[in-house]
Structure 1
Amino acid sequence: MIRSILRPFAILLLSLTTVWAQIPSPKQHFGFNIGDDYQLATYTQTEAYFKKLAATSDRVKLVDIGPTEEGRRQYMLIVSSPANLKKLSHYKEISQKLARAENLNDDQARALAFEGKAVVWIDGGLHATETVGTMQLIETAWQLASRKDPETMRILNDDIILLTHANPDGQEIVTNWYMREATPEKRSLDNVPRLYQKYVGHDNNRDFFMLNMKETQNIGRQLFVEWIPQIMYNHHQRGPAGSVLAGPPYRDPFNYVFDPLMVTGIDALGAAMINRLNAENKPGFTRLSGSVFSTWYNGGLRTTTHFHNMIGLLTEIIGDPTPEDVPLVPKRLLPNGATPFPVTPQKWHFRQSIDYSVSLNYAVLGYAARYRDEVLFNIYRMGKNSIERGSRDTWALSPKRIDAITNAYDSDPKKVVPPTNAALAQYGMIPKGGGMPMKYYDTVMKAPSLRDPRGFIIPAGQPDFATAVKFINALIRTGIQVQQATSEFAVAGKTYPAGSYVIKSDQAFRPHVLDMFEPQDHPNDFQYPGGPPVRPYDAAGWTLAYLMNIQFDRILDSFDGPFKKLPYGELQSPEGHVAGGVGDGYVLSARANNTFTAVNDLLASGVEVYRLPNGTGVKPASEAGAFYVPATPKSKSVLDKAAKELGLEVASLAKRPTTTMTKMAPMRIALWDTYGGSMPSGWVRWLMEQYHFPAKVIYTQDIDAGDLRKKFDVIVFVTRAIPPVGGKDVDIFSLLGSEAKPENTPAEYRPWLGKITADKSIPQLKTFMETGGTVITIGTSTNLAYHLKLPVKSALTEMTTTGQEKPLPGEKYYIPGSVLQMSVDSTNQATWGLPALTDVYFDASPVFKVAPDAIATGKVKPLAWFSTSKPLRSGWAWGQSYLQDGIAAFMAPVGTGKLYAFGPEITFRAQSHGTFKLLFNQLYSAGSAPGEATNGN
């Protein structure tokens, strides 16, 4: 009787369990199919779906990889067979061992490769307005979790797939904006009010060697420390007009530090991807010269992996939830090696892009499964190659080295001219025995002084050691093996203190080590001889050790010492001290960036702080611009904390300084921004927060309203804020959508609308300065100097035959993003704490000429300039001699206020720590200390 009663309940329970265990489709969860026109999912909905997949599928494990900048959780789905998921730690260990290639021989590596599983990273959503990326991630997760066809089963058996959401905040922002319209046909991705990743927007894909943002730190740990996948696939859009997508392989140049296996590995994966699309009758894949994408740059989600021996893949595809047209571009219709299967003009729907993306994912995963042991062994082989190269004398090839070989031959009056043959020459061939004699190669490529370094030493005790530790942490976050000295040691006749850091080049990720310390040498790249330059994909030079002003020594011979290897991924914290006993006060160096954080904390606590234009005048001596803090219980408390948390060296003074002192006060700081968000402004806002400067974001309408002096003491304008006289700056990202109009903008965002104009905004800024305000301009916003008719003009012009000045053409002068060295007037208050020669990031930046009488009369005060004809340190500078004697930065009085003009990008992507002080020094107001003289600077 009881059994008969319970039996129906058991059947019901079993049926409910079956329903609960059913893997939900996107349609069941979201209410629409992924790829349906006019439909997008929010991150809130996506997160819930990912959790459902993990709860209902034994192929899926959900991993929380950390918080986002807005406080959401960032997730990675690990997808593989149930058997593989039970042994994830084992396969992760194999992946790490092979990637790092330490203490392995080829036989051991082959055995591990045979045992291991191919680890493949696939991400989506990094650039949130590129909506295909996020939606294909959802669809791919669903298909891998639910399909049972032989291909999927083989992939699950042989691959471990890391499906990673790259920008949760952005998906929420962009989807809510798009879906706010009730009528589907009215939905648009144009004119999103703010950056889709807090602070940095599109530049989130330029942060992967620095790893400033929380999201990039989360991703970086999984890529470079935890999993170190052999293949990573980074989804983007948009494809070149007249094609569907751009993909691998990419155009030249590639970075010369790469292992050739990485480059040919990209070729192999690219072939698998385009072959799959062709087999499925999906045209429109372009590659090589068919797109602008190269493998020169470091710093992108895809590109940084190249420096870690991963096969990093990028595709840029068309498609939006709103249907669009594939435009007619006649030159794209003819098949060639770059586009063997052109697409014809047609209406394009979102689902087509999703289908293409899933096919591409399956092509990558299928390749990894078929060639699993080869993929695993090859990352080992690349790492082993790097270890071997770093263990012996090697000479890196670069354009300058090639030119040196050629010049050695051309300048030799006794050179022997090799035989030639006109018939062979037309085919690029030379007769047997021809070619340049080897001795010219040997003069360059065997010169002892031109060897690659065996390692680098970053001495403890340098003036800004805390910033050096930030550099070290950037290396550690990207998986670099770092060592630290446990006691004093000597190398090459120089003694280094305990605590110094050592980075040797005999490690698997040697390409990344060299790229962070050594200059990049971008080739001269022109459309044709004598023609215009070909713009690099992003920067041409970025040597981080230069940009951060790190003091380091480049060691050419093998060396060792009392070094301990730091665990991979273990971040470092500098140890600061408050030296000396209790005295009259404390001194903080102006050369340390973290000093400004401590000063801001002191001022916020009500502690008096003074600046010393001429140093202390008593022991211990300090440099011009150092900070003096009278001893009080409050100041001691703040400085004890600062020394511990910021790694500051604080000196105690027995007696009050005898030199001039200037009392500091916090300024009321305004930072310009605009509707849609300015990435350079976002970076500066982030910097302000990191260094504890209180700043208020303002918009054009705030400026045009006037009365600025009642509200602010200083206003900061980043590049692309102030338009040129008689025109407007062009920002490529502003061209991707129509301009926002008040009637189409929600009321809460309308105060952000507007652009700086000559008739309304400039007069208000002039009045602000004339009544004592300070304006700081960076990059193209130095245009303000021309609006104010200051006695400066561009140094980068030439005279035409008609007697008119025009900008130098690209055939004569072209400097994309690169590192240059400038001379600095380090005695000036604006430049306190900087060395006399300072490396700076320069990106087609303004350079000025100032009339001598304007300098003599004090109308313009040069702060930095280019004193040589060859200021290039890293990157590409065609026609750099035009820079000689050009002014890079100046100050000009305007009424009782000041204009600061910094042509180079002194805060670039929060990477250029070496020039942050050019901003920070201007963010304090100063008055006389009681009983003291003021400084005239």
Structure 2
Amino acid sequence: MSIFLRLSTFLLLSGWYLTGALAQSIPSPKEHFGFNIGDDYQLATYTQTEAYFKKVAAASDRVKLVDIGMTEEGRHQYMLIVSSPENLKKLDRYKEISQKLARAEGLTDDQARALAQEGKAIVWIDGGLHATETVGTMQLIETIWQLVSRKDPETMRILDQDILLLTHANPDGQEIVTNWYMREPKAEKRSLDNLPRLYQKYIGHDNNRDFFIMNMKETQNIGRQLFVEWIPQIMYNHHQRGPAGSVLAGPPYRDPFNYVFDPLMVTGIDALGAAMINRLNAENKPGFTRLGGSVFSTWYNGGLRTTTHFHNMIGLLTEIIGGPTPEDIPLVPSRLIPNGNTPFPVTPQKWHFKQSIDYSLSLNYAVMGYAARYRDELLFNIYRMGKNSIERGSKDTWGLSPKRIEAINDAFKNDPKKPTSTSANAALAQYGMLPRGGGMPVKYYDTIMKAPVLRDPRGFIIPANQPDFATAVKFINALVKTGIQIQQATADFTVAGKKYPAGSYVVKTDQAFRPHVLDMFEPQDHPNDFQYPGGPPVRPYDAAGWTLAYLMNVQFDRVLDGFDGPFKKLPYGELQSPEGRMAGAAGGGYLLSARTNNSFIAVNDLLASGVDVYRLPNGLGSKSGVEAGAFFVSASPKAKAILDKSVKDLGLDVTGVAKRPSSSMVKVSPMRIALWDTYGGSMPSGWVRWLMEQYHFPMKVIYPGDIDAGDLKKKFDVIVFVTRAIPPVRGQDNDIFSAMEREPKEESTPEEYRPRLGKITAAKSIPQIKAFLEAGGTVVTIGSSTNLAYHLKLPVKNALTEMTSSGTERPLPGEKYYIPGSVLRVSLDSTQHATWGMPSQTDVYFDNSPVFKLSPDAIAKGAVMPLAWFDTDKPLRSGWAWGQSYLQDGVAAFMAPVGAGKLYAFGPEITFRAQAQGTFKLLLNQLYSTSLNNQAVSMIGK
């Protein structure tokens, strides 16, 4: 053998050895974690998982590890980009192609097809969003391992044709849940039950309800990758749990779907769903249910999966059973007969964690394999959907919805010239005037669907001169975070005869993500959905209506005709900051508007620095433009420094005045605020805790034991009870029993969490709350916690009842009245302290919320002061309200004196998921002490 041949052989063998050594250096999950993914009674922490991600990324040429941001608890959140080494070298180009096709701007079909041929399918797969759904995180680990270690033809094709974005959705939650589960040394005793706190710092399970506003850091991290950076054609969101008697629920989903969707998105879900169930069936894995076999629909926006639907992405959700502790698939006889929902039923059996991992891996491979086979079609179709949206937004378009169908039917019904006899209908059909086989003449369609005033808008204008422009900019930023194209006026302009100032924002509908634009501005029109005619309603998957512009009280104009102006397009993903201003000479002090939410941040910063702040109960007169409840700040260098910063950072408009106001003022003092929470964590309480931190209100979280300990007035000035804190009025024994049956045992609870145990009870808690009120405390109740009014025997009653034939009173049944989460309009008395800064009418989030009827003399005697009420029989603004006429004249919110204190009862969810920013002031106003008895300053400066 020649020296050259020996050298070549040596180099070849060395290369083989080095390649093999590199492959061997990628640790398997067993080698890293000490167990196989799916082993019973075993879970990994996020600390261990993060270390594994880093090892895999360092050892594999198929992986790029990307830090997408920090979590609310300060951990790094990672996305692993997995593809072939060749593809990873050209990620920037493939991202550019994905963005261009998704946004569909300025492309011809031929150009789009060429890009689709060049590009790679972008597939998002996540895990762990709901951390107690442990299959999600563990399948993500196993999927990564399989993709970096396997060399079979299917895997190699996937790596060649796809770019996979494998993303951890909730690092904090995995750490919390795993540590809780693994704390028990004996494996068979391990349990996920009785987790002592929320698995997302503030909002727990609601982390899957934050994706159209993106308040949380994790949501922002994920949203930027989905809607701004990568815009994948497919996203797959893993969840638990499947319906009893099945293994998992998956696509396609039950009706209704949202009417703004492009049909290609809906049928795209059908296609992926077919690929997923076919793979399981081919692998003899039964138990996949779909369509009407589960509760999951595609109506809602705001979830990790559902928000992608409004961006032309094929968003997939599966809800699977299983966990580290083995369980049983129960016997549900109705699910054993094969049908269109469940073609391959599963039989009752013992179920192990590994089975759920195996199913999840099969489902992932079905999705990734579909993307590899239909790569160019997926890329072109997302372009086609975007192009369709641009075209629809560029011309007169009429969107169909249940109300439009009802209007068509009404037009026919109310037409005095319509044919009434069967023979007449037959004659009309014979001559082509009525469709054969039934139906109506097309003129009734044209009456509605060609009416100019019923056109879809070409765009929306958000004026810069509205009272709370800073909150309007928060709304704009919610759109920015979801990849919406925003324009801003560089000069004053006029549209449809109305003048708008420079700085106003414009959101046009001729853009790819038009479905999301419409969904954020326009009302949702949920169909009347009942189990059968005259039967009970079918509960929506989540909310029925959520129009964010309404919930945030953003003032905007719908523009029906095409328009243009001195507008500049803002770069995608570029967050906006409102420009505040300091106006006027400030020799006497400064005025801040009570209409502006951010004023409360500035006031809290001033109070924390020892600056005196006052409120003007009557404003400065009707001609002044200064409303009741406006803030006045005495002039001082310290005040100016804080307000200068607020103008810059918060976008506040601050007005300097030459002298102190001559009208009555009330001094503002901070209060000692307590916020109720419970063992395991309350999501509504967590949202309010986050809100108070954002608005710089110092507060303390308290638990039922703190309430029961008494002496509340010595510790606090105001206590906030969010929904589900105060139980309904029942027998005392029932309250105690209810508390006992849901509470973990004290001896099995770690000592640090024992102070959180307990429930609010009629026997122990209500008397202490009453004593707090009578001693001069303030209590704010929201939603179902307005039950406190009944415990205190105030002169109010449930307005939504009826008398039975036997003469007893009962709540209205669902067949007559049902309003799931929707947006309704109420009227307010904005001169009251509680409603300062509010308009005379506002939109509220209403979820079968309490509504009150006052006793005839309650107002006259000063026992109750109405704050908000329904003055119409049609208050629905967005969503679904069956029997809404029952609301007319009902009281939605009131204040009642109790001893020396005050109870505030707000039936609607005024802080709902930190989305209802238009009603934040109904809480914030109650968090300052402005008692006229001890802190009034009359005629200051006179």
TM-score, normalising length: structure 1: 0.96
| Residues 1:687 and 2:691 aligned together | yes
Structure 1 SS opposite 2:926: coil
Residues 825-872 of structure 1: per-residue CA shift (max 9 Å, x gap): 111010011100100000010000001301111000000000000000
Please state how far the C-alpha of 1:288 moved relative to its aligned partner.
0.2
Residue 603 and residue 496 in structure 1: after superposition, are their counterparts in 2 closer, same or farther (change >3 A)? same
Structure 2 SS opposite 1:524: coil
Match of 2:353 in 1: 350
Structure 2 SS opposite 1:299: coil
Match of residue 520, structure 1, among 518, 521, 524: 524
* Counterparts of 2:624 and 2:648, CA distance in 1: 21
Please state how far the C-alpha of 1:933 moved relative to its aligned partner.
3.1
The one-letter code matched in structure 2 to 1:835 is: P
* Counterparts of 1:12 and 1:539, CA distance in 2: 59
Please state how far the C-alpha of 1:461 moved relative to its aligned partner.
1.5
Residue 431 and residue 653 in structure 1: after superposition, are their counterparts in 2 closer, same or farther (change >3 A)? closer
What are the residue-to-residue correspondences of 1:428-577 with 2, within 5 Å? 432=436, 434-577=438-581
* Counterparts of 1:488 and 1:374, CA distance in 2: 44
- Where does the alignment leave 5 or more consecutive residues of structure 2 unmatched? 1-9, 427-433
Q: 8 Å contact 2:101–2:382 — kept in the other structure?
A: yes
Please state how far the C-alpha of 1:174 moved relative to its aligned partner.
0.0
The one-letter code matched in structure 1 to 2:439 is: G
Please state how far the C-alpha of 1:20 moved relative to its aligned partner.
8.6
What are the residue-to-residue correspondences of 1:79-478 with 2, within 5 Å? 79-417=82-420, 432=436, 434-478=438-482
* Counterparts of 1:12 and 1:95, CA distance in 2: 36
* Counterparts of 1:782 and 1:286, CA distance in 2: 40
Match of 1:711 in 2: 715
Residue 408 and residue 16 in structure 1: after superposition, are their counterparts in 2 closer, same or farther (change >3 A)? closer
* Counterparts of 1:930 and 1:275, CA distance in 2: 72
| Residues 1:857 and 2:861 aligned together | yes
| Residues 1:932 and 2:937 aligned together | yes
* Counterparts of 1:876 and 1:311, CA distance in 2: 26
Please state how far the C-alpha of 1:15 moved relative to its aligned partner.
7.6
Deviates more, 1:659-668 or 1:19-28: 19-28
Structure 1 SS opposite 2:844: strand
Please state how far the C-alpha of 1:617 moved relative to its aligned partner.
5.0
| Residues 1:626 and 2:630 aligned together | yes
Structure 2 SS opposite 1:74: strand
- Where does the alignment leave 5 or more consecutive residues of structure 1 unmatched? 1-6, 423-429
* Counterparts of 1:587 and 1:520, CA distance in 2: 38
Match of residue 43, structure 2, among 36, 40, 46: 40
| Residues 1:907 and 2:902 aligned together | no
Match of residue 927, structure 2, among 914, 923, 927: 923
Match of 1:426 in 2: none
Match of 2:3 in 1: none
Q: 8 Å contact 1:611–1:663 — kept in the other structure?
A: yes
* Counterparts of 1:257 and 1:619, CA distance in 2: 44
Match of 1:891 in 2: 895
Q: 8 Å contact 1:121–1:229 — kept in the other structure?
A: yes
* Counterparts of 1:653 and 1:13, CA distance in 2: 81
Q: 8 Å contact 1:127–1:167 — kept in the other structure?
A: yes
Q: 8 Å contact 2:835–2:921 — kept in the other structure?
A: yes
Please state how far the C-alpha of 1:654 moved relative to its aligned partner.
0.7
Match of 1:810 in 2: 814
Please state how far the C-alpha of 1:930 moved relative to its aligned partner.
7.9
The one-letter code matched in structure 1 to 2:507 is: I
- Could you tell me the percent identity over the aligned residues? 81
| Residues 1:61 and 2:78 aligned together | no
The one-letter code matched in structure 2 to 1:166 is: A
Q: 8 Å contact 2:866–2:891 — kept in the other structure?
A: yes
Match of 2:839 in 1: 835
Residues 166-209 of structure 1: per-residue CA shift (max 9 Å, x gap): 00000000000000000000000001100000100000000000
The one-letter code matched in structure 2 to 1:810 is: G
* Counterparts of 1:182 and 1:418, CA distance in 2: 80
Match of 2:4 in 1: none
Match of residue 601, structure 1, among 601, 605, 608: 605
How many equivalent pairs are there?
Answer: 918
Residues 220-249 of structure 1: per-residue CA shift (max 9 Å, x gap): 000000000000000000000000000000
Q: 8 Å contact 1:471–1:545 — kept in the other structure?
A: yes
* Counterparts of 1:853 and 1:618, CA distance in 2: 32
Match of residue 880, structure 1, among 864, 880, 884: 884
Residue 798 and residue 581 in structure 1: after superposition, are their counterparts in 2 closer, same or farther (change >3 A)? same
Match of 2:583 in 1: 579
Match of 2:648 in 1: 644
Residues 121-175 of structure 1: per-residue CA shift (max 9 Å, x gap): 0000000000000000000000001100000000000000000000000000000
Residue 20 and residue 94 in structure 1: after superposition, are their counterparts in 2 closer, same or farther (change >3 A)? closer
Please state how far the C-alpha of 1:379 moved relative to its aligned partner.
0.2
Please state how far the C-alpha of 1:578 moved relative to its aligned partner.
1.1
Query: For the aligned residues, what is the CA RMSD?
Result: 2.2
* Counterparts of 2:928 and 2:637, CA distance in 1: 24
Match of residue 22, structure 1, among 9, 20, 25: 25
Match of 1:425 in 2: none
* Counterparts of 2:410 and 2:137, CA distance in 1: 52
* Counterparts of 1:66 and 1:81, CA distance in 2: 25
Match of residue 656, structure 1, among 657, 660, 666: 660
* Counterparts of 1:302 and 1:334, CA distance in 2: 30
Match of 2:431 in 1: none
The one-letter code matched in structure 2 to 1:43 is: Y
Residue 482 and residue 256 in structure 1: after superposition, are their counterparts in 2 closer, same or farther (change >3 A)? same
Q: 8 Å contact 2:666–2:935 — kept in the other structure?
A: no
Q: 8 Å contact 2:310–2:515 — kept in the other structure?
A: yes
Structure 2 SS opposite 1:854: coil
Q: 8 Å contact 1:217–1:477 — kept in the other structure?
A: yes
Residues 882-907 of structure 1: per-residue CA shift (max 9 Å, x gap): 00000000000000000000000000
Match of 1:4 in 2: none
Match of 2:429 in 1: none
The one-letter code matched in structure 1 to 2:686 is: G
Residues 408-460 of structure 1: per-residue CA shift (max 9 Å, x gap): 001112102585999xxxxxxx9726420011101100000000000000000
The one-letter code matched in structure 1 to 2:364 is: N
Q: 8 Å contact 1:587–1:652 — kept in the other structure?
A: yes
Residue 31 and residue 634 in structure 1: after superposition, are their counterparts in 2 closer, same or farther (change >3 A)? same
* Counterparts of 1:28 and 1:307, CA distance in 2: 42
Match of residue 872, structure 2, among 862, 868, 872: 868
Please state how far the C-alpha of 1:779 moved relative to its aligned partner.
0.2
What are the residue-to-residue correspondences of 1:648-797 with 2, within 5 Å? 648-726=652-730, 739-797=743-801
Match of 1:3 in 2: none
Structure 1 SS opposite 2:859: helix
The one-letter code matched in structure 2 to 1:613 is: P
* Counterparts of 1:797 and 1:111, CA distance in 2: 63
Please state how far the C-alpha of 1:740 moved relative to its aligned partner.
1.4
The one-letter code matched in structure 2 to 1:49 is: Y
* Counterparts of 1:830 and 1:528, CA distance in 2: 43
Q: 8 Å contact 1:865–1:889 — kept in the other structure?
A: yes
* Counterparts of 2:104 and 2:872, CA distance in 1: 44
Q: 8 Å contact 2:666–2:936 — kept in the other structure?
A: no
* Counterparts of 1:69 and 1:146, CA distance in 2: 33
| Residues 1:845 and 2:862 aligned together | no
The one-letter code matched in structure 1 to 2:332 is: V
